[in-house]
Amino acid sequence: MNPTISVLMPVWNRSRYLPQAIESVLAQTCADWELLVLDDGSTEDTRSVVTAYGDPRIHWLTAPHQGLVQTLNRGLALATGKFIARMDSDDICREDRFDVQLTFMKHHPDIDICGSFVNIIGGAGEPQWTYPQDHESIQAGLLFHNCLAHPTVFIRRETWNAGGFRYDPAFIHAEDYELWDRCAWSLRLAVIPENLVVYRMHENQVSTRHPGAQRASVKRLHERQLRRMRIPFTEDELELHCRLRDNVSQDARDQWIEKLVKHNDVMGTYSKEAFRRIAERLRLGQPAL
């Protein structure tokens, strides 16, 4: 019989952290899962790390190196569970993560994707990342930044597959951000306000290794989002929008955010209440909630 949860864990040369990630899945209070360790052509001996556990629920699946987008899309095609949980090979799940998200989805049948807050280890900044929690706030928040932590998502596979959702290779290194923005217009999203995943910061992360490519993908996404709003904007305003969370002039930030709010009040692309709340928090330099 198919498991309740298919866990997709892509890995590429992460044997240093992989045992902790796998063991956090093994320690789950919910035992009805399959773990698909999607080896993207690692040059390290990932296979021996995975098979050493001897658990029939854990599957080592290898293919020549193609990158994260193709690896995740391959995993989506192989998943058989009623729900799909994402998990990175360098992160750690809280022991009741699956039970908490499974219970939430059962009690909220209208929600198709749920994420959570995360604890941070290995970083010099905030020890916790928080996000908007209801669909309207997440949808509006995505205009400004990625507010659904990739390794926390828990997906209802039936509605996901019905929409034909897959990661888009045109948005390399921001593929999850683009995907959530696309999903937000036909699926329902939510975030559980609990730290269900420990997110590891280290020097080999995408944002550290490929910052230029990531910024270019995010800029293309922001351009698409602004065109969806049907708001007129200049190249300078697009650049400003991409840097709103950086050290930009307060006056320039205030003027642009006010323009966005007034335009949304007229066009109603996003929930007016949620949009105004998130815009005000960003204007004050606070995270979108």
Neighbours of 193 (CB within 10 A): 12
Q: What is the pLDDT of residue 15?
A: 85
pLDDT beyond 90 at 204: no
Q: What is the pLDDT of residue 64?
A: 94
pLDDT beyond 90 at 279: yes
Q: Which of 27, 34, 38, 71 is nearest to 56 (CA)?
A: 34
User: What does the block give as tokens for 170?
Assistant: 């045109």
CA pair distance 284, 51, nearest whole angstrom? 50
What are residue 60's DSSP bridge partners? 37
CA pair distance 5, 154, nearest whole angstrom? 9
User: What does the block give as tokens for 208?
Assistant: 């550290």
* φ and ψ at residue 51, rounded to 5 degrees: -75, -15
User: What does the block give as tokens for 156?
Assistant: 């209802």
pLDDT beyond 80 at 289: no
Longest dimension (CA), the chain: 59
**Is residue 201 within 8 Å of residue 121, measured between CB atoms?**
yes
pLDDT band per the 50, 70, 90 thresholds, residue 94: very high
What domains does the chain contain, in order, with CATH numbers?
5-200 (3.90.550.10), 208-283 (no CATH)
pLDDT beyond 60 at 207: no
CA pair distance 127, 117, nearest whole angstrom? 11
Q: 54-93, pLDDT tens digit by residue?
A: 999 999 999 999 999 999 999 999 999 999 999 999 999 9
pLDDT beyond 80 at 228: yes
Q: What is the mean pLDDT of the chain?
A: 93
pLDDT band per the 50, 70, 90 thresholds, residue 248: confident
Q: 149: Cβ–Cβ under 8 A, 6 or more apart, which residues?
A: 115, 116, 117, 118, 129, 131, 197, 199
Secondary structure class of 5 (helix, strand, coil):
strand
State the average pLDDT over residues 35-45: 95
pLDDT beyond 70 at 288: no
pLDDT band per the 50, 70, 90 thresholds, residue 286: confident
Which value, to the nearest 10 degrees, does the dihedral of the CA atoms of residues 154, 276, 241, 123 take?
-50
Q: What is the pLDDT of residue 263?
A: 98
Q: What is the pLDDT of residue 225?
A: 98
CA pair distance 39, 141, nearest whole angstrom? 33
Q: 97-138, pLDDT tens digit by residue?
A: 999 999 999 999 999 999 999 999 986 667 889 999 999 999
Half-sphere exposure of 280 (CA within 13 A, CB side): 6
Q: Which position has the higher pLDDT, 84 or 281?
A: 84
Q: What is the pLDDT of residue 212?
A: 84
